[in-house]
């Protein structure tokens, strides 16, 4: 019957039937092939046939596991954003202890996560233009990070460490957007880009000045 539509989670057009099955390794093989090939050529130059053959199956069989090429990428993206979320964790909870160090830690961890999967991230950025599903997922995770940063900024203002100014949400959007685009340019290596070893400190500097108007924000409320 209609295969590959039931999906594991809430997303409608991704994955395969849930539960155990002998074909689990095939699914993994497809994902592995995709990630491997993304290291060699752009996503658009990888055909479904390439993914299928790489996984040792025929093209029609590919469709048993994924509804489309984009769905494979989406699964890959899911992993990366989950890893990023885990890496970011609760770095911002004890912000007041050492704001500069905490913000830097946050940016550095994202940098490490994305840098470790640059092929996937780059491919997603490309596909985002044409694929609504990828766009939606990315918007979702971005919204989450924006909210976290927004809350942190408001916290800093509440304790008097950061001055009032732009609406915290607008500022959070601007800063997150900057990071996204700067990382993209750095990893893609086309056009004007910040050197990879400098990028964390460059971003950090803009974040700190935009939030605190200084690169050495004050520590703890009454210390």
Whole-angstrom Cα distance, residue 95 to residue 98? 6
Residue whose CB is less far from a copy of itself, 17 or 78: 78
In whole angstroms, the minimum distance from the beta carbon of 81 to a copy of itself comes to: 13
Select the residue interacting with a copy of itself from 165, 219, 220, 221 (CB under 8 A). Answer: 165
Using the rule CB under 8 A, is 191 a contact of a copy of itself? yes
By the 8 A CB rule, do 123 and 73 touch?
yes
Q: How far is CA 46 from the centre of its chain?
A: 22
Assess 185 for contact with DNA (CB under 7 A).
no
**Residue 170 in contact with a copy of itself, rule: CB under 8 A:** yes
Minimum distance from residue 223 beta carbon to a copy of itself (Å): 23
Binder of residue 78, out of DNA, a copy of itself, none (CB less than 5 to 8 A by kind)? none
Chain-centroid distance, C-alpha 34: 18
Whole-angstrom CA distances from 166 to 84, 100, 174 are 27, 20, 11
Q: Is 21 in the site for DNA (CB under 7 A)?
A: yes
151, interface contact from a copy of itself, DNA, none, CB < 5-8 Å by kind: none
Are the C-beta atoms of 51 and 37 separated by less than 8 Å? Answer: yes
**175 lies in the site for a copy of itself, by CB under 8 A:** yes
Q: Using CB distances below 5 to 8 A depending on partner kind, what does residue 63 bind out of DNA, a copy of itself, none? A: DNA
Choosing from 12, 181, 219, 221, the residue that interacts with a copy of itself (CB under 8 A) is 181
Neighbour tally for 46: CB within 10 Å: 20
Q: Does 222 bind DNA (CB under 7 A)?
A: no
Q: Binders of a copy of itself among 101-130, rule CB under 8 A?
A: 125-130
In the complex, minimum distance from the CB of residue 205 to a copy of itself, in angstroms, rounded to a whole number: 5
Closest Cα to residue 212, out of 169, 150, 153, 167? 153
82 binds a copy of itself (CB under 8 A): no
What's the min distance (Å) between Cβ of 144 and a copy of itself? 9
Distance CA 103, CA 207 (A): 8
Nearest to 72 by CA among 41, 36, 27, 113: 27
Q: How far is CA 39 from the centre of its chain?
A: 18
| Phi, psi torsion values for 67, nearest 5 degrees | -75, -15
In the complex, the residues that contact DNA under the rule CB under 7 A are 3, 16-17, 21-24, 26, 47-49, 57-61, 63-65, 67-69
């Amino acid at each position: 019957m209609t295969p590959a539509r039931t999906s594991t989670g809430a997303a409608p057009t991704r994955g395969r039937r849930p539960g155990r099955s002998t074909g689990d390794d095939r699914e993994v093989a497809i994902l592995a092939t995709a990630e491997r090939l993304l290291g060699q050529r752009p996503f658009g130059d990888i055909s479904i046939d390439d993914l299928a053959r790489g996984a040792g199956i025929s093209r029609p069989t590919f469709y048993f596991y994924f509804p489309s090429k984009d769905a494979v990428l989406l699964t890959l993206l899911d992993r990366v954003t989950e890893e990023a979320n885990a890496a970011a964790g609760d770095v911002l909870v004890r912000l007041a202890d050492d704001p500069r160090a905490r913000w830097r830690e946050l940016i550095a961890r994202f940098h490490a996560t994305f840098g470790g999967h640059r092929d996937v991230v780059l491919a997603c950025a490309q596909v985002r233009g044409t694929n609504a599903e990828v766009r939606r997922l990315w918007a979702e995770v971005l919204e989450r990070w924006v909210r976290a940063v927004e809350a942190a900024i408001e916290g800093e203002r509440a304790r008097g460490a950061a001055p009032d100014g732009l609406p915290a949400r607008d500022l959070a959007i601007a800063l997150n957007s900057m990071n996204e685009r700067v990382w993209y340019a750095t990893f893609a290596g086309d056009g004007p880009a910040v050197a990879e070893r400098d990028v964390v400190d460059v971003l950090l500097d803009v974040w700190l000045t935009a939030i605190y108007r200084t690169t050495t924000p004050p520590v703890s409320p009454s210390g």
